[in-house]
Amino acid sequence: MKYINGRFYLEPISAHIDVTNKCNLKCIYCFYYEDPYVQLPDRDPSKDEILDWMEQLAEIGVKFLTFSGGEAFMRPDFLEILSSETSENFWKVILTNGILLDEQTVEELENVPKLLELRVSLDGFDANKKVRGVDAKVIIQNIDLIGKMTDLAVHINTMITTENLHELEKMYEWIEQHEAISGWAIDLPIVRGRYISAMNALRPSWSEMAPVLKRLILRYIDERPPFKLAIFSIFRESLLYPNKIKDRIYSFDLESHPCSYLPSVTIRTDGSVTLCPSLPFSIGNIRERPLRDILESPDPGSERVLRIRIRDIKKCSNCRYVKICGAGCRANAFLETGKLIEVDSITCKMMEFFESEILPHLPRKSRELIGEYLT
């Protein structure tokens, strides 16, 4: 994907496939179910269909593949898909709730070629039961199993809610000690699906959240524990190692498309193709025409998303953070305001917090590197 200022075309190197609509949990913030933007199909794609989609992805040069759902392991044939000849074309990540990772499954996973990591959702210890409906012990037991039986890497995905804010520091200590866990990502649920009605009760206020996140980050900077930490819009472990990232990052300009993840494409269970799992706009359907055609000539109406430029979001044009945040996330903006061309106020708040509370604590070279992006 060439994706330099002012110019892009859809040539993904990475993809995300939802392999099933089925899930064995009923998380109260789930974006996938009861979503007003997407009507889920009655049936899942067949194994042959998914393998065909994977073949098409390989043909256009996609190298990375993320599997999700629903819960991907609810498919009885999921391990067959992972172990197929087509699957060998991709480095793979699986997003899972971890419940079905029993001994036999873990054993088979170890033999899956090019499996980079498992991203397992865990929202705390006591809080997990309240929010996700399953005792955290079940998930932890399965992650322990992975550590004992295999060399697979596990990454924990946590969504912040009012229920688990007080447990994040305890999670930090557990993750730090765990032999299988190499990463922890903390995010806010997006305003889709069940979260639309649950948000008022579940979303902590910024004044509740900010001190907890700051403590976690400063502790991480101080201790440099053996896992990679990422917190939505304000921190990533790589910021501590400026020499590692200085040649990898570049800036937006006002002619850029605002999305950071254009080199990726998502295929939903109904075959619809979207730019990311969060933004509910299809650019075509792989059941109706080949993926290559869709990427070369997206469905009419897709320009609503594809032609956005940062300069279109006028309030962002003169902002001192625009070269860092690229006018924020279009999914956030759309889901919070109903408009694609609108300020993403969540990212605005995060940028201010990042500059005042986090940036001063980063290494000098990191501060200098990031300082070049402030206008």
Partner 1 sequence: MGGDYKIQRFEKRLAQAWTEVDGEKFVGVTLKGHLANHNNADPFLMEF
Under rule CB under 8 A, residue 63 binds partner 1? yes
CB 181 within 8 A of CB 143: yes
197/251 with CB nearer partner 1: 251
Return all residues near 353 (Cβ < 8 A) that are at least 6 apart.
Answer: 210, 234
Q: How far is the CB of 10 from partner 1 (least distance, A)?
A: 12
As to burial, measured by CB atoms within 10 angstroms (0-12 exposed, 13-18 middle, 19+ buried), residue 98 is buried
Under rule CB under 8 A, residue 325 binds partner 1? yes
Per CB under 8 A, contacts with partner 1 among 27-56 are 31
Structure tokens, 60: 């256009």
Tell which one of 194, 268, 323, 330 touches partner 1 (CB under 8 A). Answer: 323
Tell which one of 185, 199, 306, 319 touches partner 1 (CB under 8 A). Answer: 185
Cα 70 from chain centroid (whole Å): 15
Tell which one of 78, 172, 220, 232 touches partner 1 (CB under 8 A). Answer: 232
Give Rg (Cα) of the chain: 20
Q: Do the bridges between strand 228-231 and strand 235-236 make them parallel or antiparallel, or are there none, so unpaired?
A: antiparallel
Tell which one of 100, 112, 149, 153 touches partner 1 (CB under 8 A). Answer: 153
According to DSSP, residue 230 is labeled E
CB 252 within 8 A of CB 18: no
Q: How far is the CB of 244 from partner 1 (least distance, A)?
A: 9
47/86 with CB nearer partner 1: 86
Per CB under 8 A, contacts with partner 1 among 84-143 are 91, 93, 95, 114, 116-117, 119, 121
CA gap 142, 156 in Å, rounded: 13
Under rule CB under 8 A, residue 159 binds partner 1? yes
Which span sits near partner 1 by CB under 8 A: 162-170, 202-210, 226-234, 299-307? 226-234
Q: How far is the CB of 295 from partner 1 (least distance, A)?
A: 13
302/347 with CB nearer partner 1: 347
Under rule CB under 8 A, residue 151 binds partner 1? yes
149/185 with CB nearer partner 1: 185
CA gap 74, 27 in Å, rounded: 16
Per CB under 8 A, contacts with partner 1 among 249-268 are 249-252, 260-261, 263-264
Which of 189, 187, 185 shows the shortest CA–CA distance to 236? 185
Tell which one of 248, 307, 318, 338 touches partner 1 (CB under 8 A). Answer: 248
124/326 with CB nearer partner 1: 326
Could you write out the DSSP letters of every residue in 305-323?
HHT--GGGSGGGTT-TTHH
Other CB atoms within a 10 A radius of the CB of residue 288 amount to 11
Helices 168-177, 206-223: inter-axial angle, 10-degree rounding: 30
Per CB under 8 A, contacts with partner 1 among 267-296 are 276-278
Q: Binding residues for partner 1, how many (CB under 8 A)?
A: 73
